Structure 1
Amino acid sequence: MTVTEQLSALGLILAHGDLHSLFQPILSLSERRILGYEALTRGPSNSPLHPPVTLFAVARHAGRLSELEMACRKSACRRFKELKLDGLLFLNVSPESLLDPAHQPGRTLKMLQAFGIPPSQVVIELTEQTPTEDFNLLDTALHHYRAMGFSIALDDLGAGYSSLRLWSELRPDYVKIDRHFIDGIHQDAVKREFVESILKMAKASRAQVIAEGIELPEELAVLAEMGVDLVQGYLLGRPQEHPSRDARALLPPMESIGSMNEESSDLSALLNEQPAVNEDTPIHEVLEAFRARANLNSLAVLDARQRPVGIVHRHLLSEALLRPFATDLFTRKSVNRLMSTDFLAVEMGQSLQQVSRLITSRARQRIEEDFIIILDGRYRGLGRVIDVLKLITELKIQQARHANPLTLLPGNVPIQQCLARLLQQRRQAVVCYVDIDSFKPFNELNGSICENNEQLGGLISMIVSTIEENFELIPKQASSTKVQIKQPHRQR
C-alpha cells in the first residue's frame, strides 16, 4: 500500500468514523472486582490500517494524530455507554496530541457530557511514543484535565523516552508498568527489583500501580506476593468488543494466586497443556506435528483410556530417523515403535518438592526433556524439567531473602504466607508461638552460641525440650489436637 493510498484510507476512516473500540478489564486482586476498562482502537477489519500501530503511525505522519485520537475517544465513549460498563474508562492520549497547536481544550469534556459520562469516571492515559520536550506545557494541559475532574495515568513506565521524568513532574494517579518488566518476572530477579522500586516510588507519590501484560499464572502469583493489586493482561481478559463484567470469572481462585511454594497443593504452575497422540498414530503424523510447532519438544502417547503409555522426544525422534533407511522403514509405522516407555508421569496433586526429588533420582532425565502430568491417571499435559529447576531456585532465593539473619529460619513474611494459605484452604492446623524472654541482650553478650550450626542446633533442641516438658498434647479428635498448658516455669 503506497503512502498516498494510506493517507486516502485514513481520510475515509476519519470522515466516516469507521473505528472499532475494544475494552480490556483492569482488576483489583484485593477487592476481586473490575476497577475499569482500557479502551483500545482498531481500524476497519478489511483495511491495511486495521492494526493500531499502522493506523496511528500513518496519522502521525499525516499530521492528523490529534484528530484521530479524538475520533477514538468518541468511539470508545459511545460504545462504553452502549454496553453500560461499570467502573473507570481509561482513554489513551499521546502527549504530542495534547501539545498540538490544533488541539482544542474542552472537547473531551463536552463529548462526555453528550454521552452522560462524568469526568470522575474517566482516566486520561498518557502513552508516550515520541520524546516529550515541553514539560511545562504538558503539565499545564494535564492540570486542565485534573481541574475538570479527570484522573491521570502514565502508560508503559520504563519503556518511554522520559517516563520517569513524566512521573516525577506530573504526579499521575495511576502508573502502568511496561509489559517488558512483567514478562517472565517469576524467573528474573532484576525485573522483580525494578517492580519493587516502582512500588516504593508509587507509595511515596501516592500513585496506584497497574501491572499490564500479564500472560502467565506464575507472573500473577509473583506480582500478588510483591503487593501489586491492580492487574491487566491476556491471562485475565483479552481486549473484546463485549468484555466480561464478572471479576470472579476472570480472576483465578485466591489460593492459586497465593505464593507458590515447595509444598504447594498441585502442579498447575508447571502444566503445559500440550497435545498428545494415540499409540496407533503413524510416525509421519508425529513428524508433521513437530514441524508445525517449533516450540513443541515432546509428545505424550496415550492409550484408548487417555492414559500415558510412552513419550516421544523431538531430539530422540530426529536421531532415530537419521539412521540409514530409517525414514523409509518407520514413517508409516505406529509411533509406539519409536516412543520411549521410560518416562516420568506425576499426579497433579504432588508437590513441587516431590517432583524435584523424582527428577533428580532419574539419572537419565535430561534437562531439556519433558515429563507427563496426569490427573487420576489420565493425561493433563506436560511439564518441563527446566521449569522445575527454575522454580525451585526462585523459591530458594525467596526463602533466603526473607530468612531470619540470625537463625536462618523462616522470617515473618513466609510465616504470614503460610498462615494465609492455611486460612484460605480451611485446613486444620496447630500453631505454637515461642517467645524467649531477654533473648536479644543474651545473644549480644553470648553471640558465639549462634555462630555455628552445631551450637545453634543445641539451642533449638533445648527450646524444643522445654516445650515438650511444659506442654501436653491431648487428643481432641482423630484429625486435630489441643494444646494444654501445664503451668510452665519461666526460664531466662
Structure 2
Amino acid sequence: MNLGVELAKIIKEESLTAVFQPIYATDKCELYGYEALIRGPSDSPLASPKMLFDTALECGLLSQLELVCRKISIARFAQLELSGFLFLNVSPMIFLQTDHPHGKTLAYVKESGLLPEQVVIELSEKYPIDSPSVLQKALMHYRDLGFRIAVDDLGAGYAGLKLWSQVKPDFVKIDYYFINQLHLDPVKREFVKSILSLGQKINARVIAEGIETEQEFEQLQDLGICFGQGFLFARPESYPVRDVPAIICNHQRSTLYLPQLEQTASSLLQPAQTFHMNTRTKDVVNYFHKHATVNSIPVLDGKKPVGMMLRNDILELYSTPYGRALNERKRIKEVMNEHPVIVEANTRLDELSKTVTAEKDDQLQWHFIITDQDNYVGIGSIRDLLRQLTQQQIKHASYANPLTLLPGNVPIYRHVDRLISEQRKFYFACFDLNNFKPFNDVYGYSKGDAIIALVSNLMQNYCQANDFVGHIGGDDFVAIFERENWHHHCQLILSEFDREVRKFYNEQDLNQSGIYAKSRNGEEHFFPLLSLAVGVVAPDVSICSSHHDVAEMASEAKKQAKKFTHSAIFLSRRTKPTARCEYTEKAKLCE
C-alpha cells in the first residue's frame, strides 16, 4: 500500500479521531484541562500517531495533517463540552513551510464557540529545527491572537532554554523520560527541581507528563510539581473522564496539610561508589584512603547487593601484624560484611527505623542499602533517617490533632491565607459541640473522646474530597467549602450526629432528653442532649487580609449558632472584619 496515497485520503476525508487525556491541578484536586491527541483509522496502517506524522513528514503533508488534526480536536472538545484548557500539539516543522496557511486555528476556535484564551498551543520538540527566530515569531503570533503557549517534551531534543527567555511560555511540560522512575534517580530529581525553579522565575506552570506509578506521583508532589497527567490518572479516550481520580484527592487530604508524614526510604536515597564482589581488597582500601569521608561501600553481584565494605572493619583488619600482606589480594567477598541492612525504596520510614534498630551489629552505624525489586539503586544514611524522623514528629505535633489526626491550626490558617491570596470565594464553617463539658463530667473522658471521634468521622464522610476538614482542638472543628451546596452536606452531618449521639446515653437520660450535672458555678443544672452548632461565614476575599479576619467573624457566627437549643447552622451576612455584624431572618432559617 502506498502510504502517501493513504494519508492523502485520510486528510481529505478527515477520517481521524480525537482523544483527550486529562491534566490535573493536583494541589487543588481539580481537573485543569485536556491534551488532544489524534488516532488514525483503526483499519489503516496509519492508525498510530507516530506512523501518521512520520509519513506526513516524508510525503510533505505535515501542514495539511496538522490543520485537520486541529480542526477535529477543537470541534470535538467543544462538542463534548469539556472543561478547562485545550492543549493542542503543534510541530515546529510547519513554521518552516511557506505555504502553511495563517489564521485557520483561530477560525476553528471561533466556529466551535470557544475562546482563544481556552486553547494552549503546545510546541513539540520531537521534530527539532535550527531556526529559533522562526519559532519565536510564530509563537508570538499565536500569543498576540490570545492563545496560551506551552513548550512540550522539554529535554527530549531541541534545546529550548533560549526560547524560554524570549517567549516566556505559560506552560512547560517535562518529558516522560525524566518522570519515569524519578523516585529512584537523584539525577532526574535534580533536573526536575531545576526546571521547576526556572519555570517559577518566568511565571510558567510546570506540568509533568507520563506519570504512571504512585511512587512517581508522590515524588513529584514532594518536589512541588502541582500539575500532571499520565496513565496513573487516566488514559487518552474519545469520551474522557471528567472526575478527579481518588488518588489525587486522597493525597491532597492526607498529605497536603500533613507534609512528609508518609515518606519512604527513597527520600533518603543517595548515590555511592560500588564494587563487584570479586574486586581485590587492596583496591577498596586505596579507595578509602583517597576518600576520607566515605565510610560505607556497597558490594554487588551484578545488580544485586550482597554485602557492605565498612571503613572501620577493613582498616582494623589491615592494622594487625601482617594484615596487609594476608588480605590485600583477597576478593572483597571474603572480608565484607555479609549482612547489611537492605530495604526496598518504598519502605516507610517508620518501618525502616524498626529494621535498622533491630540489628545487633554495632558496626552498621553509617548506611543501609536501598533496592528496587531487589536491584541496587543507592544507599541511605542512618543520620538522615534520624533527622527525617525527628522532623516528622515535630511536624506531626504542629500540623495534626493527635486524637483525630485531622489538620490542626497551622494547616487551617495556611489554607485560609492561600484562599485569600488567590482571591477564591469560600465558606468557613465552625463546628462546636453544645453541652460537651457536662457530658464529659458525667460519662467520663473516654466517652467524650468517642464523641470527638464521631464528629471527625461524620465530617470526613459527608464532606467531599476537595473540601478542607480540620480540627482546631477539643470539640472545635472546621470545614472550608469552595462550593455553593455546602449547606446540604452540613445538614447531613447534623442529622446523622443527632441519631448517633443517642447511643452514648443511658435509657434514663434519653427518656428525660438530657442530663443533670454541675454548672460552672457548682450548682446542679439540667443540660439537653449533645448537639452540634455550626457557624458559617463567607468572607469577602478582596477585603479580608488574613486568617485572623476570618477567625474573628467565624467566632461570632458560632456564638449565634450556639444560641439554639438543638443542632443548628447559622449563616452570617457579615463578610468583612470591620463591618457591623448583621443577620437576617433568612440566615436564621438555616438551622
Pairwise CA distance, 1:421: 6.7
- Residues in 1 aligned to 2:408 and 2:138: alpha-carbon distance in whole angstroms: 59
Amino acid at match of 2:224: G
Match among 46, 65, 68 for residue 71 of structure 1: 68
Alignment match, 1:164: 161
Alignment match, 2:316: none
Alignment match, 1:59: 56
Does residue 110 (structure 1) correspond to residue 107 (structure 2)? The answer is yes
Pairwise CA distance, 1:360: 9.9
- Residues in 1 aligned to 2:145 and 2:371: alpha-carbon distance in whole angstroms: 55
Pairwise CA distance, 1:221: 0.8
Pairwise CA distance, 1:150: 0.3
Q: 1:93 to 1:361 in 2, by over 3 A?
A: same
Alignment of 1:25-174 (within 5 A): 25-174=22-171
Q: 1:121 to 1:212 in 2, by over 3 A?
A: same
| Counterpart secondary structure, 1:125 | strand
Conserved in 1, the CA contact under 8 Å of 2:371 and 2:378?
no
Pairwise CA distance, 1:353: 3.6
Alignment match, 2:200: 203
Amino acid at match of 1:95: P
Conserved in 2, the CA contact under 8 Å of 1:37 and 1:90?
yes
Aligned-residue CA RMSD (Å): 4.0
- Residues in 1 aligned to 2:222 and 2:208: alpha-carbon distance in whole angstroms: 13
Pairwise CA distance, 1:422: 2.9
- Residues in 1 aligned to 2:129 and 2:373: alpha-carbon distance in whole angstroms: 41
Q: 1:260 to 1:237 in 2, by over 3 A?
A: farther
| Counterpart secondary structure, 2:400 | helix
Conserved in 2, the CA contact under 8 Å of 1:95 and 1:138?
yes
Amino acid at match of 1:48: P
Amino acid at match of 2:96: L
Pairwise CA distance, 1:29: 1.3
Q: 1:428 to 1:64 in 2, by over 3 A?
A: closer
Alignment match, 1:422: 400
Q: 1:258 to 1:139 in 2, by over 3 A?
A: same
Deviates further, 216-225 or 241-250: 241-250
Q: Which runs of 5+ in 1 are unaligned?
A: 270-349, 364-383, 432-475, 483-492
Alignment of 1:227-246 (within 5 A): 227-246=224-243
Deviates further, 57-66 or 124-133: 124-133
Higher-Rg structure is: 2
| Counterpart secondary structure, 1:200 | helix
Alignment of 1:5-404 (within 5 A): 5-249=2-246, 251-253=248-250, 254-255=252-253, 264=262, 353-354=350-351, 357=354, 386=372
- Residues in 2 aligned to 1:392 and 1:477: alpha-carbon distance in whole angstroms: 49
Q: 1:216 to 1:391 in 2, by over 3 A?
A: farther
Q: 1:234 to 1:220 in 2, by over 3 A?
A: same
Q: 1:477 to 1:189 in 2, by over 3 A?
A: farther
| Counterpart secondary structure, 1:247 | coil
Pairwise CA distance, 1:243: 0.9
Q: 1:429 to 1:6 in 2, by over 3 A?
A: closer
Conserved in 2, the CA contact under 8 Å of 1:182 and 1:213?
yes
Deviates further, 134-143 or 69-78: 134-143
Q: 1:420 to 1:75 in 2, by over 3 A?
A: farther
Conserved in 2, the CA contact under 8 Å of 1:217 and 1:257?
no
Conserved in 2, the CA contact under 8 Å of 1:39 and 1:91?
yes
| Counterpart secondary structure, 1:46 | coil
| Counterpart secondary structure, 1:110 | helix
Alignment match, 1:488: none
Pairwise CA distance, 1:205: 0.9
- Residues in 1 aligned to 2:31 and 2:53: alpha-carbon distance in whole angstroms: 28
Q: 1:206 to 1:6 in 2, by over 3 A?
A: same
- Residues in 2 aligned to 1:262 and 1:174: alpha-carbon distance in whole angstroms: 27
Pairwise CA distance, 1:429: 10
Q: 1:91 to 1:410 in 2, by over 3 A?
A: same
| Counterpart secondary structure, 1:175 | strand
Amino acid at match of 1:235: L
Pairwise CA distance, 1:247: 1.5
- Residues in 2 aligned to 1:130 and 1:387: alpha-carbon distance in whole angstroms: 36
What are the Cα deviations for residues 367-423 of structure 1, in whole angstroms up to 9, with x where unaligned? xxxxxxxxxxxxxxxxx97459989956969758xx5xxxx9855xx5786468736
- Residues in 1 aligned to 2:88 and 2:407: alpha-carbon distance in whole angstroms: 48
Conserved in 1, the CA contact under 8 Å of 2:27 and 2:256?
no
Q: 1:354 to 1:131 in 2, by over 3 A?
A: closer
| Counterpart secondary structure, 2:31 | strand
Q: 1:64 to 1:54 in 2, by over 3 A?
A: same
- Residues in 2 aligned to 1:429 and 1:72: alpha-carbon distance in whole angstroms: 47
Amino acid at match of 2:109: L
Deviates further, 110-119 or 162-171: 162-171
- Residues in 2 aligned to 1:425 and 1:224: alpha-carbon distance in whole angstroms: 26
Alignment of 1:473-484 (within 5 A): 477-478=445-446
- Residues in 2 aligned to 1:153 and 1:10: alpha-carbon distance in whole angstroms: 28
- Residues in 1 aligned to 2:151 and 2:402: alpha-carbon distance in whole angstroms: 35
- Residues in 2 aligned to 1:176 and 1:265: alpha-carbon distance in whole angstroms: 26
Conserved in 1, the CA contact under 8 Å of 2:258 and 2:395?
no
- Residues in 2 aligned to 1:424 and 1:255: alpha-carbon distance in whole angstroms: 16
Conserved in 2, the CA contact under 8 Å of 1:215 and 1:233?
yes
Q: 1:207 to 1:360 in 2, by over 3 A?
A: same
With normalisation by structure 1, the TM-score equals 0.58
Amino acid at match of 2:79: E
Amino acid at match of 1:166: L
Pairwise CA distance, 1:131: 2.6
Conserved in 1, the CA contact under 8 Å of 2:125 and 2:154?
no
- Residues in 2 aligned to 1:223 and 1:424: alpha-carbon distance in whole angstroms: 28
Amino acid at match of 1:234: F
- Residues in 2 aligned to 1:61 and 1:83: alpha-carbon distance in whole angstroms: 33
Alignment match, 1:323: none
Pairwise CA distance, 1:203: 1.1
Pairwise CA distance, 1:427: 1.5
Conserved in 1, the CA contact under 8 Å of 2:401 and 2:408?
no
Conserved in 1, the CA contact under 8 Å of 2:401 and 2:407?
no
- Residues in 1 aligned to 2:65 and 2:394: alpha-carbon distance in whole angstroms: 50
Conserved in 1, the CA contact under 8 Å of 2:32 and 2:84?
yes
Amino acid at match of 1:427: L
Q: Which runs of 5+ in 2 are unaligned?
A: 268-346, 361-369, 410-443, 453-472, 475-591
Conserved in 2, the CA contact under 8 Å of 1:221 and 1:260?
no
Q: 1:176 to 1:419 in 2, by over 3 A?
A: farther
Percentage identity across paired residues of the two chains: 38
With normalisation by structure 2, the TM-score equals 0.49
